[in-house]
Structure 1
């Protein structure tokens, strides 16, 4: 008895858990390899492939206990992971849980997975990581959690991951990282692209990454102020040994589009006595991720005198003014009151000429409503309300702003814009709504903006765009929808606009339809689509062909596959259509082979005609060809029917003529009988007897 106890003590604790749970459940678990999944050995490691098997929980399933394996569970229905969910899978070394609709991980769910080194939970709906969320993953080295809805991460979420080296968190909604998140976590590769980060502090975050070899930080709305100095200094310190993604300034406006590495400390944190140039006007080009195109020029002067990574921006002729007094004068020296109705209390205003109108700068004024602007500025032409606390825009807020040509509402907390809010802004040309909390776009939201040319909606929470949303803006040329939660676009979404520049990168598109969506982009010069989880299967073939037709000058970024796994991280332009969709092209091959039956005999055998190779037959050629065959067949059938009907008609005529001839013959015979025969004396009433007699004869 004592020997048995000793043997139990020597077993790993997670094996003991399995034995205990096995007794508790009465050994009712089903081996996945026996019934549900395909299990094959690849390079000495067992692959248990349970993709799209409809699995909603794992507590009644098990896996082989005699060997290590990689467990593939992507595309199932594991929406919530409960404690001891994987208790029967203690020999797993890799775990794939992509595309499960997973939204919650209860601490203890991974207990027993002590051997797992790679965990993939990307492309789900996880909104946060709790404390001890990864308890049990003692040997985890690689964690992939991109393309989720991550916003909240507990400081103790990773405290059990003492072997974690690679952490992939790109394309989420993270606004900040909690202090001491990486305490005792030996991170060497960190991907934070496509989030909502404005700064990264040194204390509690960067100081805990001494062994970093790669850190990717692109596509975040970085606030290039004094708070970003620690990040700049840290990046300069590690730049000689680490691969670093670009940090591009989103704010303040005077630095928008600047690379942090090329921005001086003085520009980031000017002295308090210097005027803040960021309060004057927006830049010519927004940080859209798109390279500049000489053909696209804003008709208004830029305000940034900085250089955007080798691209010079001309200086704008913008003059600065602090908030003037009631006796302020126009710069040309005329003693005319500058503000007839005053400047809003918390803002600064400037003017260059009486015709140009006011430039009202209320950036960072802690406003909670547009209605708080008192007094209302007279003849305001440009209104900057960036970096306030505005959460709701009402249709009464802009009734007295008909002269506006530019409105900047970026970097607030706007969740709702009432219908017809902008109806009075018929002169507006630039509208910034970036870095807010908008979730749905509807047509009435943009009613009245018939002269708008530029619309920025990046870094929101947009999941749905209703049909006809942009119909109110026929002059719209530049549209930025990147870093949102879009999965699809409605039919005819671009039917009423002639876009020259479009940014859709860093969303959740798996493919984009050509008919009714992309084919309406007849004037597009640049389109950015990178950072989406493209599904490189049959559904994407038409989209891929459209991208290839447009060329790299228009589609300015690589489009990398997120699924299936065999194509992961490959640019889909480098993958043939036949590899992406073998079932479709095999059908095309069989159709052409059976219909043509054309072969070439050689000494080595018989080969299919090379002109019928499936890789050379595109759908755009096949469909018209089949349509032509169908139309030709239809005309042939109709012709045959007409021919048959005409023959029948002629046959009926011949029958009618034959009957008439017979009657005429009878009439002749009867006449002969009438005049010469025995019936002459008996009169006409014997004609019928004559006919009968003749027929009898």
Structure 2
């Protein structure tokens, strides 16, 4: 009898569910079939693969992050016919065995923050329904060591933080030789990959690309942007200038981020072609000093109802003033952030107080000059403090000096042009210093004669 009990206990341990021992499980009973099943949290569980445990019969999500994993092999923990999400980020994974993932229903896998340098072409062969793949912050150095042949349904990929930039300048993301992305991809993130230039026709095969994050690289010029884009992040690149031609054929673009670039001005008509634009970020642009009032075109100044932008942020830049003609368009915004700029609080900026800016966006909306108003919150100041008296006195002084110089110049021209030609100007000057005949010196002989007499 005791032997039977021992064998039973051994069998029970051998088939122990992760939910009964090492992991935290929560059943998700949402109506949608996509979200039904156990959410299994095995994060921070070092040695999870060493335990002889299995998954619940119906599991939706498995979290193995921060578990000090160095290699992924075929194991009972990675076998499931229902799993939709697998989280393996923040481990030390250097290798994945080709037959590791037996997860035919998997839609999402996160392998970010590991030490992968290579992925075998057979690794994803059993993940044909995969839609989301995160490989950010690994150690890939060439795009050829990534193979996406089996991922026919992939629509979002994140490759941030891998030094694949030089490789991408020679090999297209959608390379047709077998390892490139499929044309179904809608979201690509290649931030901080060391990309210097984007070659011509780089996205020519991206027929349905909706979101592109290409921030944190070394791109200096705006490249040929896919016309299907709805979201574009070009932040943290040394882009020198922007023009309306750069955004001329982007009818669907709704979000544009140009944070921390090297532009010096927002020129006229630059955003006029972007009729679908709803969010614009121009934050932390330390060289940006000019924001032209016609940046969104002339029509929005004449009829603010044509201004469809909802959110605008230029915080942390170097804008000192804005034209009052922008009052009505900016007044249409749902969210406006002008904080962290060195504003000149004079009579030309008092109109800013008429904008309906929520309190959270004017804590750091402060004056830089004049000195008496330095660091004062603009919305705490009464309109009477926004004066231009000093400016007018300064302008008046300049006008007085200019007028005096013009009078002197006119007088000099008159002397040299209208004085009679037969009178030598030199003689005129000489005559001005010639003594009068009334004070002529008498002849010496006459003087001596008078003395003798």
The alignment's TM-score, normalised by the length of structure 2, stands at: 0.51
Q: What pairs up with 1:48-63 in 2 under 5 angstroms?
A: none
The CA distance in 2 between the partners of 1:408 and 1:532, in whole Å, is 26
Seen in structure 2, the aligned counterparts of structure 1 residues 364 and 348 have a Cα distance that, compared at 3 Å, is: farther
Q: Write out aligned runs for 1:626-637 (5 A).
A: none
**Could you say which residue in structure 2 is the equivalent of 1:373?**
172
Cα pair 2:350 2:383 within 8 Å, conserved: yes
Query: Which residue among 252, 255, 262 is the counterpart of 1:451?
Result: 252
**Any conservation in 2 of the 1:347–1:361 contact (CA below 8 Å)?**
no
1:575-590 correspondence to structure 2 within 5 Å: 575-581=381-387, 583=389
Q: Secondary structure at the match of 2:260?
A: coil
Work out whether residues 321 and 350 of structure 1, in 8 Å CA contact, stay in contact via their aligned partners in 2. Answer: no
Pairing 1:462–2:287 present? no
Is 1:524 the equivalent of 2:326?
no
Q: How does 1:63-462 map to 2 (within 5 A)?
A: 275-276=88-89, 319-320=108-109, 325=121, 328-332=125-129, 344-347=143-146, 354=153, 357-366=154-163, 367-368=165-166, 369-373=168-172, 375=175, 376-379=180-183, 380-418=185-223, 421-422=224-225, 425-462=226-263
Unaligned runs of 5+ in 1: 1-265, 279-316, 334-342, 588-697
The Cα of 1:466 is off from its aligned counterpart by 2.4
Pairwise CA distance, 1:451: 0.7
Conservation of the 8 A alpha-carbon contact between 1:320 and 1:350:
no
The 8 Å contact of residues 561 and 568 in structure 1, kept in 2 or not, is answered as yes
Q: Distance in 1 between matches of 2:231 and 2:360?
A: 23
Selected match of 2:316 from 486, 506, 511: 506
SS at match of 1:520: helix
Counterparts in 2 of 1:378 and 1:537: CA distance versus 1, 3 Å: same
Secondary structure class of the residue paired with 2:320:
coil
TM-superposed CA distance for 1:359, in Å, is 2.5
Cα root mean square deviation, aligned: 3.6
- Give the equivalent residue in structure 2 for 1:489: 291
Give the match for residue 103 of structure 1. Answer: none
The SS at the match of 2:227 is coil
Cα distance in structure 1, aligned partners of 2:188 and 2:350: 45
Contact 1:324 1:349 in 2 (8 A): no
In 1, the alpha carbon distance for the partners of 2:350 and 2:158 equals 49
Shift in Å, 1:329: 4.3
Secondary structure of the 1:519 match is: helix
Q: Which residue of 2 aligns with 1:565?
A: 371
Q: Which residue of 1 aligns with 2:344?
A: 535
Q: Return the offset for 1:391.
A: 1.9
Q: Tell me: higher relative CO, structure 1 or 2? Use CA pairs within 8 A at least 6 residues apart.
A: 2
2: distance between equivalents of 1:350 and 1:524? Answer: 45
Distance in 2, matches of 1:468 and 1:270, equals 53
Distance 1:454 1:442 in 2: 17
> Aligned pair in 2 of structure 1 residues 565, 464: CA closer, same or farther (>3 Å)?
same
Q: Judging changes above 3 Å, is the alpha-carbon distance between structure 1 residues 536 and 556 closer, same or farther for their aligned structure 2 residues?
A: closer
How far the C-alpha of 1:499 sits from its partner, in A, is 1.6
Q: Deviation digits for residues 556-599 of structure 1, max 9, x if unmatched?
A: 54311111111111112222222221649x99xxxxxxxxxxxx
In structure 2, what is the equivalent of residue 675 of structure 1?
Answer: none
* SS of residue in 1 equivalent to 2:379: helix
- For 2:90 and 2:334, locate their aligned partners in 1 and report how far apart those are by CA, in whole Å: 31
Residues 332 and 346 of structure 1, relative CA distance in 2, 3 Å threshold: closer
Q: What SS does the aligned partner of 2:232 have?
A: strand
From the superposition, tell whether residues 509 and 332 of structure 1 become closer, same or farther in structure 2 (CA, over 3 Å). Answer: closer
Local SS of the residue matching 2:88 = coil
Supply the distance in 2 between the matched residues of 1:503 and 1:461 (Cα, whole angstroms): 16
Deviation at residue 460 of structure 1 after TM alignment: 1.1
Is 1:487–1:507's contact at 8 Å kept on the other side of the alignment?
A: yes
Between the two proteins, the alignment pairs up a number of residues equal to 263
Structure 1 runs (4+) greater than 6 angstroms displaced: 350-353
Q: Indicate if the aligned counterparts of 1:526 and 1:554 stay in contact, CA closer than 8 A.
A: no
Distance in 1 between residues matched to 2:221 and 2:388, nearest whole Å: 46
Summarize deviations over 1:8-62 as a string: whole Å, max 9, x none: xxxxxxxxxxxxxxxxxxxxxxxxxxxxxxxxxxxxxxxxxxxxxxxxxxxxxxx
How much has 1:554 moved relative to structure 2? Answer: 8.2
Residues 499/271 of structure 1: CA separation in 2 closer, same or farther (3 Å cut): farther
Instruction: For residue 413 of structure 1, give the secondary structure of its aligned residue in structure 2.
Output: coil
